[in-house]
Amino acid sequence: MSSTVLDLEKYRGKWVAVDPSGGVVVEAAETHEALLQALEHQPGRKVVIHRVPVLDEPIFVGLG
């Protein structure tokens, strides 16, 4: 994978699909479902999906 650092500021609070080979955001949406719907138009494309947290959002680690 590329060592490119993504500028995720504009994606805070959104779900993003990132191309693993180039480290480029290919789609972004407010909800997971909306992101999956947008990706339906790109069959076969390999992406990594995750949500970019807002700055003051707590991050939970572990099982509780």
pLDDT in tens, 29-53: 999 999 999 999 888 889 999 999 9
Helix, strand or coil for residue 15?
Answer: strand
Name residues whose C-beta falls within 8 Å of residue 36's C-beta, 6 or more positions apart in sequence. none
> Would you list the domain boundaries of the chain?
11-51
Taking Cα atoms as reference points, which of 7, 6, 26 lies closest to residue 16?
A: 26
Residue 25 above 70 pLDDT? Answer: yes
Looking at residue 2, what is its pLDDT?
Answer: 44
What pTM value is reported for the model? 0.76
Are 54 and 11 spatial neighbours (Cβ–Cβ below 8 Å)? no
